[in-house]
Amino acid sequence: MNETVANGKFGQSVKRVEDARLITGRGRFVDDLVFPGQTYAAFVRSPYAHATIAGIDLASAQDMPGVIRILTGRELADAGLPPLPSGWNLSSIDGTPARVGLHHALAVDAIRFVGEPVALVIAETRDQARDAADTVLVEYQELPTVVDLAAAIADDAPQLHDGIAQNRAFEWEIGSSAAVEAAFAGATRRVTLSLRNNRLIPNAIEPRAINVQWSAFDEAMTIYLTHQNPIGMRGFFAIMLGLPSENNLRVVSPDVGGGFGSKAPAYAEEFAVAFAAKMLDRPVKWTAERSESFLTDAHGRDHLTTAELAMDDNGRFLGLRVHTLANLGAYISTSNALVVSYMYATMLSGQYAIPAIHARVEGVYTNTCPVDAYRGAGRPEAAYLIERLANLAAREIGVDQAEIRRRNFIREFPYQTPLIYCYDSGDYEGCLDAALGLADYAGFEARKAESQARGKLRGIGLSAYVEACGIGPSKLLASLGGGGAMWESCEIRVQPGGSIEVLTGAHNHGQGHQTVYAQIVSERFGVPMDSINVVQGDTDRIQAGTGTYGSRASVGLSAAVHSCDKIVAKGRAIVAHMLEVNLADVVFADGIYSSAASNRTVAFVEMAQAAHGAASFPTDQIEPGLVATSFFDPPNFTYPAGVHVCEVEIDPETGVVEVVAFNAADDFGNVANPLIVEGQVHGGVTQGIAQALWENAIYDPDNAQLMTASYMDYGMPRADSLPEFGLCFWPSPTPVNPLGMKGCGEAGAIGAPPAVINAVCDALGVDHVDMPASPEKIWQLCRAREVS
């Protein structure tokens, strides 16, 4: 990390601007807000995972102190609240659309996962709402449950949705099966692998919350929402709530305490609360308890995959065949049809030139919480599979895990994969060498011997991931089943006094946008960062936007660059008049306009004054004012890549796996702020190590109860469970945006899991261990090893 500074340019480690309010307790999160006439909501949730609702008795609850109204799913549906919307249209191989199980904001007839909301209690205080919710009597008729993916597609499996046989929502494919058949026919070596990518619970530390104000007189609603994409949510809510137009709705996401994908879906609870506020004509607030977060925040991953990799005798990859059962949960969450298809299988080529690839993905309903995007969203599942296969290939051919990768790396860019995507830029071998150097790969055997002397098993694992960020090219995404609209906008307003507002539809919930946007604008205008205010997360302030997910800050920042360029260009025209010189002679550098044809110079701030004064230039040729707006639609995704190297030590007596070293070389393209980017990698790698070793959402196979529904049961990473990481950047700037940035938010969570499991397998000398590599599982393997 280079030296931190308080003010700085693109590429410098500038200390964060947003910290000031957050370290002093002056952040404003949704639950902090209280409005006049505030009421509070609590949900009645099903204790069963699969049941029909035989009846709901509200009598005693309605008499509880402070209760204003209790709503059921039937009432909401009758009042006109439609089922939840889907954000992606996916077609099966046979061309039929995905079979979508209707998802009501409050269950109407049937329950399909434990914790599904059944009724909504609104009361004068939070405690009164919760007390009354506890006394609502719901009569359930229990139905058999199914949790396991393989069991869910059996003929005799309990069926979740009417008309959706074997719980199959879709069967989708990508790539050429004929080409793969031919590749396998010509191959001399092959490896096969079956694995589970474990289900994760996102656990942003701020629970979801919503506070809704409704004004019946002018049919105007304001929603304060913990969301990654408040601007984009406006359209969803306006339609769902039957508002006359989007103009009747303001959505605000103030400070938001982490997202990781889990605050990107359109959730049942939020729609129910907003609809209730409209029915009651009073502000309604709901804040999830952590137990509710565990049960109902969209979960991540949960794949069951089998794959085969065909090779020649030298270990050159010839063909890859993949079949995945993707657990959708009880319903298809907003973006999940995209996550399990085009965000996942498109990345199965990894960093390797594999001429033939075919993947088939079946989406399956089970009695579990709906799954959706979680840090990486499909790319971690792809990277985990291909990077595990690469190590199996190395074992099969009898070469080192670095060598098998070198033999297969893509070396020319742009590179068109057989799976739609076209990689922008990269230097995969350079990155590998940088990571191996950082990890002292050559010295591993000596460290292993030292561990052995202490009775410990030491292993080293590599992963060479590539992913797709900067989502995304609207036209391509629309052609794949999305609604397009994947650009980002940025408006820059320069005030007469020279202060600057930067407004963007991206949303900051930890990424440091307030700092990075200011860094870029400060550098372009040659003005201090403290004259710049970055505004996000409020539809009354922001003209348009599509939010923050998929490491797409580069999209919004590119729009900012274009708006800066427009302002600077307009300034040149104004200054040409001020200096009475030709436009072509005016240059702008370091905040100063000048011309070889004049002794005078004009500072940016003076130009801003003149732009508003409108007295020094002809207003029939140049409009007064100084505002510029840009929309940036990227021509392609960006493809960050990197090599992660994990070293573990295993205690065969206890089965505990300790990560003793973790090093990573990452290509994020140009890095705007190394301090912030390293922080993103720290967090991502930690979540990745945690998936590999500790985190696992477990449903009871007999009754589909979530057994890991608290911080006492779910394996969150804690401060005492990790080593310090060694990081370096190995940038190949992307040509797809003006900043050359690729994105860094998900990389750690993508690169780390296979690196950890490859290290565990190396230590134990086994082909595969499913995640998480828990002490119990590892202890059993150690025992088996001793016996053999």
Partner 1 sequence: MSRIELRVNGRNVEVEADGRTLLTHALRDHLRLTGTHIGCDTSQCGSCTVHVDGKAVKSCTILAVQAAGCDILTIEGLASGRELHPMQAAFNDFHGLQCGFCTPGMIMMAIDIVNRHGRPDEATVRAELEGNLCRCTGYHNIIKAVCAGAERMGEMA
Cβ(509)–Cβ(553) below 8 Å = no
DSSP one-letter code for 255: B
Closest CB to partner 1 among residues 566, 682: 682
> How near is the Cβ of 360 to partner 1 at its closest, in Å?
34
Closest CB to partner 1 among residues 283, 472: 283
> How near is the Cβ of 359 to partner 1 at its closest, in Å?
31
- Cα–Cα distances in angstroms (integers) from residue 735 to residues 230, 461, 485, 768, in the given order: 29, 32, 21, 38
Closest CB to partner 1 among residues 17, 61: 17
End-to-end Cα spacing for the chain: 47
Conformational region of residue 79, where left means phi above 0, alpha means psi within -120 to 50, and beta covers everything else: alpha
Q: Which residues bind partner 1 (CB under 8 A)?
A: 4, 15-16, 18-29, 31-32, 34, 126-127, 202-207, 255-258, 260, 289-291, 509-512, 675-676, 678-680, 682-687, 710-712, 716-720, 722, 724-725, 748
- Kindly tell me the sign of the dihedral angle through the C-alpha atoms of 96, 98, 103, 108: positive
> How near is the Cβ of 241 to partner 1 at its closest, in Å?
28
Closest CB to partner 1 among residues 82, 258: 258
Q: Which residues contact 23 (CB under 8 A, 6 or more apart)?
A: none
For residue 26, count CB atoms less than 10 angstroms from its CB and return exposed for 0-12, middle for 13-18, buried for 19 or more.
exposed
Residue whose structure tokens are 């609502």: 136
Closest CB to partner 1 among residues 550, 715: 715
Closest CB to partner 1 among residues 187, 288: 288
Q: Report the alpha-carbon distance of residue 655 to residue 151 in Å, rounded.
A: 30
> How near is the Cβ of 510 to partner 1 at its closest, in Å?
3
Closest CB to partner 1 among residues 175, 512: 512
> How near is the Cβ of 689 to partner 1 at its closest, in Å?
9
Closest CB to partner 1 among residues 7, 598: 7
> How near is the Cβ of 315 to partner 1 at its closest, in Å?
34
Q: Structure tokens of 614?
A: 């409108």
> What are the residues facing 190 on neighbouring strands?
310
Which run of H or of E encompasses 220? strand 220-225
- Kindly tell me the sign of the dihedral angle through the C-alpha atoms of 781, 783, 786, 788: negative
Q: Which residues contact 513 (CB under 8 A, 6 or more apart)?
A: 504, 506, 507, 534, 536, 548, 553, 556
Closest CB to partner 1 among residues 4, 474: 4
Overall size of the chain counted in residues: 788
Closest CA to 346 of 324, 369, 370: 324
Closest CB to partner 1 among residues 21, 768: 21
> How near is the Cβ of 66 to partner 1 at its closest, in Å?
12
Q: Report the alpha-carbon distance of residue 488 to residue 503 in Å, rounded.
A: 11
> How near is the Cβ of 173 to partner 1 at its closest, in Å?
35
Closest CB to partner 1 among residues 494, 518: 518
Q: Which phi and psi (to 5°) does residue 237 adopt? A: -70, -40
For residues 534, 540, 542, 543, the Cα torsion angle rounded to the nearest 10 degrees is -160
> How near is the Cβ of 115 to partner 1 at its closest, in Å?
14
> How near is the Cβ of 257 to partner 1 at its closest, in Å?
3
Q: Which residues contact 646 (CB under 8 A, 6 or more apart)?
A: 460, 461, 463, 659, 661, 662, 689, 752, 755, 756, 758, 759
> How near is the Cβ of 127 to partner 1 at its closest, in Å?
7
